[in-house]
Structure 1
């Protein structure tokens, strides 16, 4: 499906989107290796907090085979516990089914004029997706929650701060927008909102630790996650996340445009 940045991306059908996602390697035989996936599942089961993405998983997921089982069910990785190498997979059917669930939540957000916060730890990939969703929700009457200025990580002398790019919260470090799994930016953002007397968002749409930290604060959260980020899928299985959308979360940004067009159309939203 050709993409022209100067014209509106056509809305694909459900079946054509599934085929496109596989062709674009957003799903299907994705770039993430089986070795990497299994290492992350094992580390999460071993209690390494980095892989919990801000969620409190307690001692409920100490069996790697249970983690793999959830990832096979919700993401579409190979369920074979004996397989440890090669490329792994993400199911286009599971991805689109999750997008359909997100669309229903977006319809609800518009109907209730919810306050929605967007954030990403993948600014080189997912940022434009969230920007497009934020513009469409704002045009439909939702309030987009913007991160307050001046939130520094690591104290006033810290080299990192939280900024917004097109209404999406991102982490900034020395003039760069780094890829981050850390939950600390979202924790700091929510703390600042509360300290300023603001209510927490009605809905968060995010990834990585941004999503996990919001869900851990009992904020309704939609997460987008790769097959090597099992925590958000475990959170969905336990009910702490509303939906976790399985996809390769770091392909070239323009490749997500048909997916975004499908999601906006399914939600009854017009691109803004």
Structure 2
């Protein structure tokens, strides 16, 4: 296992950028260029698996246009002739998006908002989202409890450490699907619960919430273009670009500390 020092204090902007690059949460990331371009092409070809619950219509049918947005908002190599090998996430864009997300979280805390957290990456982002939920709860926000008994096919929608996710046979599930968020929000309506004021999520959990008209902030990898298109179009408020499954989830801790500090929240680890 790779051992790397993890700052215990809130890092400066420069320190966080350095940490993101060293841990490959940004900079030269693990996702190959071939995978990125394949996903951009699939989205442009209308494959809804890659739309993450957003309704993109016929606005993004050119793979080159998708690549241009990803270069601008995520920091991938913008050269359409670069077809294989290394690709990148610009760490400055990651930190800038964290700062914009922090402003949204600060506003939510001031408004005592009702906030729903969810992830399709429970093996990586659970602690990031759970710590953020704890910090907002300490600031007076209501962290939304999802209804019991929600299902998507043979999988259950559960809540662990204040974060909604999929579970099957006692295993937390990785998913890109918008169906779990659809089931959650529909279940809240059936139960007479008001919908959240804010959703903090990723993958289809975030895309569907934004499409439903709920203020949404998200994390997304360089091979997940839909959420960045949603941000451009205003359906998603903020998208933070990062490798969403690095080797050690603890390496996200400085990023979370930076986010919460900029939001004026106390880190809850």
TM-score range, shorter chain: over 0.9
Does 2:254 match 1:255? no
Which residue of structure 2 aligns with residue 179 of structure 1? 174
Where do residues 130-141 of structure 1 align in structure 2 (5 Å cutoff)? 130-141=129-140
Q: Deviation of residue 134 (structure 1)? A: 0.3
Structure 1 alignment gaps of length 5 or more: none
Does 2:261 match 1:265? yes
CA contact (8 A) 2:147 2:191 kept: no
Which residue of structure 1 aligns with residue 238 of structure 2? 243
Where do residues 203-222 of structure 1 align in structure 2 (5 Å cutoff)? 203-222=198-217
Which residue of structure 1 aligns with residue 125 of structure 2? 126
- Note the alpha carbon deviations across 1:53-101, whole angstroms, 9 max, x for none: 0100000000000000000000000000011100100000000000000
CA distance in 1, matches of 2:151, 2:104: 32
Q: Deviation of residue 271 (structure 1)? A: 1.7
Does 2:5 match 1:2? yes
Where do residues 6-155 of structure 1 align in structure 2 (5 Å cutoff)? 9-154=8-153
SS of equivalent to 2:92: helix
Q: Deviation of residue 152 (structure 1)? A: 1.3
CA contact (8 A) 1:183 1:210 kept: yes
- CA RMSD across the alignment: 0.9
- Note the alpha carbon deviations across 1:29-49, whole angstroms, 9 max, x for none: 000000000000000000000
CA contact (8 A) 2:25 2:244 kept: yes
Which residue of structure 2 aligns with residue 225 of structure 1? 220
CA distance in 2, matches of 1:253, 1:102: 20
Q: Deviation of residue 174 (structure 1)? A: 1.4
CA distance in 1, matches of 2:202, 2:265: 22
- Note the alpha carbon deviations across 1:1-49, whole angstroms, 9 max, x for none: 7238xxxx21000011011100110000000000000000000000000
Q: Deviation of residue 238 (structure 1)? A: 0.3
Which residue of structure 2 aligns with residue 165 of structure 1? 160
CA contact (8 A) 1:146 1:168 kept: no
CA distance in 2, matches of 1:54, 1:38: 20
TM-score by length of 2: 0.97
SS of equivalent to 2:172: coil
SS of equivalent to 1:87: coil
SS of equivalent to 1:60: coil
Q: Deviation of residue 196 (structure 1)? A: 1.2
SS of equivalent to 2:250: helix
CA distance in 2, matches of 1:28, 1:146: 36
Q: Deviation of residue 178 (structure 1)? A: 1.3
CA distance in 2, matches of 1:161, 1:264: 30
